[in-house]
Amino acid sequence: MLARTHKAEAAKTATQLFKQYDTDNSGFIERKEWLQIWKALFSDGGTLSKAHLKLARIELERADTDGDGRVSFNEFIEWMRALGMYA
Ligand SMILES: [Ca+2]
């Protein structure tokens, strides 16, 4: 039961995160929005370092499994799962 609750909570968090980052509500996290995530995580509101920019690009490629250049909700979930952030 506990595990199930935890999973539901994780799904809720992932949904909230996705909505938060999909700022234009397109249902996809576009490259521009994706970079905003990395800025929020690593730059303290400024610009990203080259290393973090590279990391953001690598992770986008990893998350974007169908290669259309943007991250769908399912791709986002799979990406979080691969990182161990989503059970
Ligand atoms: Ca995609």
Q: Which residue has 């039961």 as its token pair?
A: 1
Query: In a 10 Å sphere around its CB, with 0-12 CB exposed, 13-18 middle and 19+ buried, how is residue 12 labelled?
Result: exposed
Q: What are phi and psi of 27, to 5 degrees?
A: 90, 0
The alpha carbon of 1 and the centre of ligand 1 are apart by a number of angstroms equal to 33
The alpha carbon of 7 and the centre of ligand 1 are apart by a number of angstroms equal to 24
pLDDT tops 90 at residue 87: no
pLDDT tops 90 at residue 13: no
Q: What does the pLDDT look like over 31-47, one tens digit per residue?
A: 999 999 899 888 876 78
**Is residue 29 classed as helix, strand or coil in its secondary structure?**
strand
CATH fold of the domain at 2-82: Recoverin; domain 1 (1.10.238)
| Domain limits, the chain | 2-82
Q: Report whether 8 contacts 14 (CB < 8 A).
A: no
The alpha carbon of 57 and the centre of ligand 1 are apart by a number of angstroms equal to 13
pLDDT at residue 5, as a whole number: 73
pLDDT tops 90 at residue 19: yes
Q: Which comes out higher in pLDDT, residue 60 or 87?
A: 60
Q: Report whether 6 contacts 87 (CB < 8 A).
A: yes
